[in-house]
Chains A and B, each alone.
Chain A
Amino acid sequence: MTQTVFAPWDDPNQKPLIRFQNVTKRFGEFVAIDNLTLDIFEKEFFALLGPSGCGKTTMMRMLAGFETVSDGRIELSGKDIGHVPPNKRAVNMMFQSYALFPHLSVWDNIAFGLRRDRKSKSEIDARVDEMLKLTRLEKFGRRKPHQISGGQRQRVALARSLAKAPKLLLLDEPLGALDKKLRQDTQFELMDIQESTGTTFVIVTHDQEEAMTVASRVAVMDEGRIIQVATPANIYEYPNSVYVADFIGDVNIIDATATPTGENTYALNWIDGQPPITAETKTTFSAGQQAHLAIRPEKIRISTERPDEAANALQGKVLDIAYLGNLSTYHVQLPGGQVIKAQTANTRRIARRDITWEDPVWISWSATAGVLLEH
């Protein structure tokens, strides 16, 4: 481990900033958060990712203090904050709707939290100006929220929640209301601001691309549980379940029975009458155990001739081609009827593409291209 890599979660001596310990949250009969344990470290940009209703917003609201914990405890810097009201927490939140006070100017919105701390006028002035500068809003201080654009409102909301220099900033779908182009620009802006202020960010999002772009670590949630917590690269390359593999990016899942053929290598029988697939994994499977092979479309090669050196090669027929400009995705139907997606970069002009609909093609991938999953 070198000094330049930021990975406090791998360092057993690091104390987490936030610690969820067996936290459960019930609304009547409904269990929103189910016995959840999680550490988040200082200076992290942590993303809670999941479909709507998975409990990510509840977790954020518990951190902010708007929901109480039914069971377990939440610690901030080692102290239980379970019964600290929202206005007494060194935690600030950027609301999904931005929740800018419509009757106050941009300047007064940013100063709102500082005034509650009874800071002196000069301190408030300096801090608000600093925040306006940070978010490039110097010219808009006197305007009311309805007199600025959506992107500017988003920055006001960010400035307001950062003004009190919280230990932890919560961002609830911070970019959800922006259009795609603006969202991408703003993602990088968020990362810059997070880095320059050194604040710990926890972001809630349902957009996996956004989570992958901004976060140092991503927690994939489903039905009140965390399925996997890892860096974006590990989540993508080493998902721990079909659910995660499927939720993040595009994936082909091949269901099969595993037979060990050597140390860490398995032969996968996926359909009768076809040769088995070879796959390498560090997970141990017993002979005849059900397994799911997850392979990303870009890890699969497509060619008109049978490739010479490939651990796995299957013949099929092109069903569909989705042309995305920089990439093309081919839907290839295998003899058993299963459709496999293969992706290639369009490095050549489209006129010279040699594969078209109904063509018989070969798809191939190496033994380490896919991940073998138990469930």
Chain B
Amino acid sequence: MRRFALIAVPYVWLLALFLVPFIIVFKISLSDLALAIPPYTPTMRDGIGDMFAAFDFENFVFLTEDDLYWKAYLSSLRIALISTFMTLLVGYPIAYGMAKAPDEWRATLMMLVILPFWTSFLIRVYAWMGILSNEGLLNQFLLWLGLINEPLVILNTNMAVYIGIIYTYLPFMILPIYAALDRLDESLNEAAEDLGCSRMQAFWLVTIPLSKNGIIAGSFLVFIPALGEFVIPSLLGGSGTLMIGKILWEEFFNNRDWPVASAVAVVLLLILVIPIVLFQRNQQKQAEAEQ
């Protein structure tokens, strides 16, 4: 009896507040926009039979017809891909440096990487607004150095979005790579050098392949949330920055078009399934290899 309650309470909670809402989103994505409250039709009040009869894929067809949507999906994918790659380029040397640091520093470095996790995401994104703006500190600094003659326009461009994603998701990239590098036996690199590799060759032939799992895990951990990101494109991006999270938000709050917003969400979810499944498989493979 007690076991039943133990399982049932979290189970029912998740069913009611996670699964059911999804089914509702899916249902509404098949409905039509209506000037009513709630602003869609049909609803349960029309009777189950009529409700199913009225379902159609109109909203999804609409998504394919209006090029705003598929452009936004493509642009989200591109921004997520580019920023994931840039995060890897920034994160790998940091993780590598941490793994090579003296033992007594490691705990502190680790804490320094994790600390930003605990600070508000919103504040961390906001911090860049003051730095990247036309009169911002970065431009002031570059002008002072004499590298540029007039301020660079960074804020409200995709560049600012890349910077924001790199900055906020960097710890997600560093931690799995650091974990992989930390496990790496130093003598493997020595063996490679002993067998005729230069330092650089040993890095490419031994260190990189053996930290592959960390790189993959880190990249997914950045790519997946970046794809559906809302805060970063809306604060740092411009009107030209198309990201699907932002479109969904605007569709819902500004256009009040719930059926289309739901359809946007369903498609985003379908796109996300692929990287999530790949990520899951990578984690499983890694866990098996460790046994």
Residues of chain A having any CB pair with chain B under 8 Å: 64-66, 85-87, 91-93, 95-97, 99, 101-103, 112-113, 116-117, 160-161, 164
Question: In chain B, what residue has the closest Cβ to A117?
Answer: B196
Q: Is B197 an interface residue (CB 8 A)?
A: yes
Contact indicator B188/A101 (Cβ below 8 Å): yes
- Cβ contacts under 8 Å, A101 to chain B: 188, 191-192, 206, 210
| B185 CB within 8 Å of chain A | yes
* Contact present for A164 and B196 (CB under 8 Å): yes
A101 and B212 CA atoms in complex are apart in Å by 14
Among candidates A85, A103, A116, residue contacting B195 with C-beta atoms closer than 8 Å? A116
Q: How far is the CA of A207 from the CA of B185 in the complex (A)?
A: 24
Contact A66 B190, beta carbon cutoff 8 Å: yes
- A93 and B191 CA atoms in complex are apart in Å by 7
Q: Which 6 A-B pairs have the closest CB atoms?
A: A116-B196, A113-B195, A99-B191, A99-B187, A86-B193, A95-B187
Is B185 within 8 A of A97, CB to CB?
A: yes
With a cutoff of 8 Å between Cβ atoms, the chain A residues found around residue B210 in the complex are 101-103
Q: Which residues of B contact A66 (CB under 8 A)?
A: 190, 193
Chain A hits for B191, CB < 8 A: 93, 95, 99, 101, 160
Would A116 and B201 be within 8 Å (CB), given that A97-B187, A160-B195 are in contact?
Answer: yes
Contacts of B284 in A (CB 8 A): none
What is the CB-to-nearest-CB distance from B197 to chain A, in angstroms, rounded to a whole number? 5
Residues of A contacting B188 in the complex (Cβ-Cβ under 8 angstroms) = 99, 101
Nearest A residue to B184, CB-CB: A102
B173 to chain A, nearest CB (A): 21
Question: B194–A86 contact, CB under 8 A?
Answer: yes
CB distance from A71 to the nearest CB of B (A): 24
CA distance A64 to B191 in the complex (A): 10
CB-defined contacts of A113 to chain B, threshold 8 Å: 195-196
Q: Given A97-B185, A99-B185, A85 and B192 touching (CB < 8 A)?
A: no
Q: List 27 A-B pairs, Cβ < 8 Å.
A: A64-B190, A64-B194, A65-B194, A86-B190, A86-B193, A87-B194, A87-B195, A87-B197, A87-B198, A91-B194, A92-B194, A92-B195, A93-B190, A93-B194, A95-B190, A96-B187, A97-B185, A97-B187, A99-B187, A101-B191, A101-B192, A113-B195, A116-B197, A160-B191, A160-B195, A161-B194, A164-B195
B225 within 8 A of A: no
New contact pairs (7) apart from A101-B206, A102-B210, A103-B210, CB-CB < 8 Å: A86-B194, A87-B193, A92-B195, A93-B194, A97-B187, A99-B185, A116-B196
Q: Does B93 sit at the interface, judged by CB under 8 A?
A: no
Which chain A residue lies CB-closest to B191? A99
Task: Tell whether B275 is near chain A: CB-to-CB under 8 Å.
Answer: no
Residues of chain B in range 171-204 having any CB-CB distance to chain A below 8 Å: 185, 187-188, 190-198, 201
Q: Which residues on B sit within 8 Å (CB–CB) of A116?
A: 195-197, 201
For A96, what are the chain B residues with a Cβ–Cβ distance below 8 Å? 187
Residues of A within 8 A of B206 (CB): 101
**From A87, A91, A92, A102, residue with most partner B Cβ within 10 Å:** A87
State the CA gap A117–B195 with chains docked (Å). Answer: 9
- Once bound together, how far apart are the Cα atoms of A95 and B194, in whole Å? 10
Q: Which residues of B contact A85 (CB under 8 A)?
A: 193, 198
Residues of B within 8 A of A93 (CB): 190-191, 194
Report A113 CB to chain B, min CB distance, Å: 3
B209 at the interface (CB under 8 A from A): yes
Shortest Cβ distance from residue B217 to the other chain A in the assembled complex, whole angstroms = 16
